[in-house]
Structure 1
Amino acid sequence: MEAIALAEIRTTPLSVDEVLAAVKDDRAGGTAFFVGTVRNHDHGRDVAALSYSAHPTAEQRMRDVMEKIVADTADGTVHRVAAVHRVGDLTVGDLAVVVAAAASHREEAFTVCRRLIDDIKAEVPIWKHQTFTEGDSEWVGAY
């Protein structure tokens, strides 16, 4: 069974249940999740609209990041990982990203889950464009 259970960029709504099912593994004693949702504010300002864009290589880059994390934890305690990120126009409360890790123990699950979201945000070319209620906007994650 491949450790990378799910690695996708989507325009459709995300499902926590789908990610949970993807990482289910009888060897795992702990499963950790991170669910990123669209909030109604940023930097103390009200957000009116938000859109995510991704480079065509983003999905492969996500898989590369996940492969590195799995390889770095080659002691056999991390069994399954999954990540899905949404692109397109989102509204407040929508799920933007869901990542999960299933491991033999909770400590490994938490550590790998945290690394998944941190490395995806740092290394995968996905950009957020948010428009504020005052009418101005900003790009986040664009280099």
Structure 2
Amino acid sequence: MPARLPEGFAVVTDAPLDLAEHVAAVSSRADGAVVTFIGQVRDHDPDAADRVTGLDYSAHPDAQRIIGEIADRVRAEHPLVKLTVSHRIGHLEVGDLALVAAVASAHRGDAFAACEALVEAVKAEVPIWKKQYELGGTHTWVGL
């Protein structure tokens, strides 16, 4: 059984992300829907000339505050849901989890809408950049 984290957490962290922790933080017997999103490091990217082998995520010092504000805003826009979200920073290998979100609600429509809004806002607004390493030894910066 995963550790029970508080509902509503929104963090930028260098610790590995755990989907089960996110689900446990929002799930209850009253929820008929739990929608999750996992963003994982893939082995290719449109900006890469070769296979991606890993990446480093860097965050602006305000990233933690901003992800929290986004979670609060999405919660206010979707008052029938409980949600949580985490974005990882530091070095990640292909397959590692970079972004995890979980949203629970009595009904799936509310949960899907809130999860999509949450993930899209985090991707668009949280100041996090990635240095992407490629098979040939080169690297590119994405999101600067």
Alignment TM-score > 0.5, same fold: yes
Deviations 1:44-91 (A, max 9, x none): 7301230101111111100101111111123xx21x100011100110
Q: Give the counterpart letter for 2:11 in structure 1.
A: E
Corresponding position: 1:25 with 2:28: yes
State the match for 1:62 in structure 2.
67
Distance 2:28 2:69 in 1: 22
Deviations 1:87-114 (A, max 9, x none): 0011011111100111120111111111
State the match for 2:83 in structure 1.
81
Secondary structure of the structure 1 residue equivalent to 2:51: strand
State the match for 1:106 in structure 2.
108
**Among 22, 34, 37, which residue is 1:34 paired with?**
37
- Aligned identity (percent) is 40
User: Gaps spanning 5+ residues in structure 2: where?
Assistant: 1-5
Secondary structure of the structure 1 residue equivalent to 2:9: strand
Q: Give the counterpart letter for 1:46 in structure 2.
A: R
User: Gaps spanning 5+ residues in structure 1: where?
Assistant: none
State the match for 1:133 in structure 2.
135
State the match for 2:19 in structure 1.
16
Give 1:136 shift: 2.8
State the match for 1:49 in structure 2.
54
Q: Give the counterpart letter for 1:7 in structure 2.
A: A
State the match for 2:3 in structure 1.
none
Aligned residue-pair number: 137
